[in-house]
Structure 1
Amino acid sequence: MRTQQDYLQRTEILDFDAPPITRLIDSRGWRQLPAEQAARAVYEFCRDEILFGYNAGADSLPASAILAEGLGHCNTKSNLLMALLRALGIACRLRAFTIDKRLQKGAMTAFVYFMAPREILHTWVEVELHGQWVVLEGVILDQHYLRAVQDRFSNCQHAFLGYAVATPSLAEPAVQWTGRDTYIQREGIARELGLYASPDDFYREHKTNLNGVKGWLYHNFFYKLLNDNVRRIREGTPGSQACNHQSG
C-alpha cells in the first residue's frame, strides 16, 4: 500500500537535490508559489523550455542530466517534471503504457522508424492537486514544435496520428494548463503497464526502450539524426501538406 511519502521521495532518477535543479528552482522563485501555481510553472517550463527531442542517454536518465541536455521526450520529460514537483513538495506518480510507434512516424527518420519496435514504452506524470490526480501528458511537445506540426497540416479536421502526436484534434489539443488533465499522445496508447511511485521502479521492471545493438546504434548515431529531423520540423515552412496521419 503506497503512502503519501512514497510520492515525494528522492530517487536515483529523481535527483531533485542536485545543484542545477536547486539553482533553477531558486532562480524562478517557485518555492514561494502556492502548490497549483508552482505545478503550472514547472509544467510549462518542462513543456516549452525543455525542447521536444531525443536524449543521448536512455529513458532512465536522471532529472539533472535531462535539465543539462535541455531536451526530452515523453519518458525523460516525465523524469524531470517529477523531480521538480517533488523538490517543491508536490506529490506525483508515474503511469506507464506502451504506444503504437505509428505516432512517431514523421518525427523519426525513416530508417529509425523501421528499426523501432511496434510498441514503445511511454509514461506520463500524474500530480496530486486538491485531492485529485491530474494527468500531465501534454508536457511532451514544446509549443514551437507543436505549432510547426499544426501549420504543416493546417487543413486537418479529424484525429491525427504522427509526428509524435496522437490526438482527436490537432488544431486544439489538450496541452494548455487548466488545472485538469492534459494529453498529446493518449490516442496512440496500445497497452497500460500500471502505476509506479517512481520511474526507478518502472525501469527496474521493464528496462528501457534502448537495449542491445539497437541501443548502441541509437546512442552513437540515431539520436543525432532524430534531433536534426525534429529541428527541421520545428523550423520548417508552414504547411500545405495533406493530412494523411490519422488514426485507424
Structure 2
Amino acid sequence: MSQRYLAETPILDFRSGAIQAIIAERGWVSLEPAARIGAAYDFVRNDILFGYNSDDAIPASSVLADGYGQCNTKGTLLMALLRALEIPCRFHGFTIDKGLQRGVVPEVVYPLAPRSIIHSWVEVLIDGKWVNLEGFILDQGVLGALQETFPERSSLCAYGAGTDCLQDPSVEWSGQSTYIQKTGINHDFGVFDTPDDFYTEHRQLSGLRGLFYRSVIRHWMNRRVARIRQGHVPTIPGGGDNLLPKQASIILKEAV
C-alpha cells in the first residue's frame, strides 16, 4: 500500500537537484522516521515563508526556489520532502471560506475573491496511522505578529489564520496532528494520492481573473504579508470573526 504514497510525480519532483541537495545538506536521511518528519515539517514551516506563488499546481522544486508558499504549495514541498525521505504521505483537499484571507487580500479587491478558496493539508503515515499536518502554513514571524496584535483573543479567522487557540495553536511537530487554518474549512473534497490527482479535477482562478491574480494581486498580497511579519497588522471589518464557532466545529467533524 505505502508504495503509492511514495511515488514521484511532475508536481512532487523530489528527485530534482535542489530538493536532493537540501536533504543531503541537512543530513535528514540519517534520522529516525519521526525525526525526519519533524525536520522536513520545521523546514517548510519556517524556512519557507508564508506567501503566494503564481499557481497552486507548481512543482515542489519551484516552491523551494521561490522560498515562500501558502497552504497548497507549502504542502506540495512538504510532500516531496517526505517522499524523498521514504515517509508515506497523501493529499487531503478542502475549500476554506475567503474570510480567512481577509487582511491579506486587499479590501479593494476582496469582494472579487471567490467565496470558497481551495485549501489542503498533508496526511503522513506513521506508526500505522494517518496524522494531519496543516500547522506549517504560517511561518513563526507571521504567527507571532498575530499573537502580539491580538493578545486577548483565542479565536481568529483572518490574516491567513483559522484557529480557536491563537495564543497556543497546535503547530509544533510532536507526532500529532497540527493545524492553523482548520476553522475556515467549508467543504471537504476527500483524500488523493497526489496533488497532481487533485488539481486535475479542481482548479481555481483561471482566465483573466487568474492572470490578474498572478500578475498583480498576489504581489500585493505578498507585500501585505511582509508587513504583517514586521508587526503591521491591518485593521479589517469584523476583526477576524468570519466564521461562527458552531459552524466551524461542524465542518471540522465532517472533514477529519
Normalised by the length of structure 2, the TM-score is: 0.91
User: How well do the aligned residues superpose, as a CA RMSD in angstroms?
Assistant: 1.7
1:191-235 C-alpha deviation (Å, 9 max, x unpaired) = 10010000000000112x221111000111111111000001100
SS class of match (1:178): coil
- Once the two structures are TM-superposed, the CA of residue 244 in structure 1 deviates from its matched residue by 2.6
- In structure 1, the partner of 2:250 is none
- In structure 1, the partner of 2:14 is 16
Given that residues 49 and 68 in structure 2 are in contact (C-alpha distance below 8 angstroms), is that contact kept between their aligned partners in structure 1? yes
Aligned equivalents of 2:13 and 2:235: distance in 1? Answer: 44
1:213 maps to which of 205, 208, 213: 208
1:235 aligns with 2:233: no
- Once the two structures are TM-superposed, the CA of residue 83 in structure 1 deviates from its matched residue by 0.2
- In structure 1, the partner of 2:45 is 47
- In structure 1, the partner of 2:85 is 88
- Partner letter of residue 231 of structure 2? G
- Partner letter of residue 194 of structure 1? G
What are structure 1's unaligned runs of at least 5 residues? none
What are structure 2's unaligned runs of at least 5 residues? 245-256
- Partner letter of residue 21 of structure 2? R
Aligned-pair identity in percent equals 46
- In structure 2, the partner of 1:124 is 121
Alignment CA distance shift 1:212-1:205 (3 Å):
same
- Partner letter of residue 220 of structure 1? S
SS class of match (1:40): helix
- In structure 2, the partner of 1:111 is 108
- Partner letter of residue 205 of structure 1? E
Q: What does residue range 31-46 of structure 1 map to in structure 2 within 5 Å?
A: 31-46=29-44
Normalised by the length of structure 1, the TM-score is: 0.94
SS class of match (1:47): helix
- For these two proteins, the number of residue pairs brought into alignment is 243
1:65 aligns with 2:62: yes
- In structure 2, the partner of 1:77 is 74
Given that residues 95 and 119 in structure 2 are in contact (C-alpha distance below 8 angstroms), is that contact kept between their aligned partners in structure 1? yes
1:173 maps to which of 155, 169, 175: 169
- In structure 2, the partner of 1:194 is 190
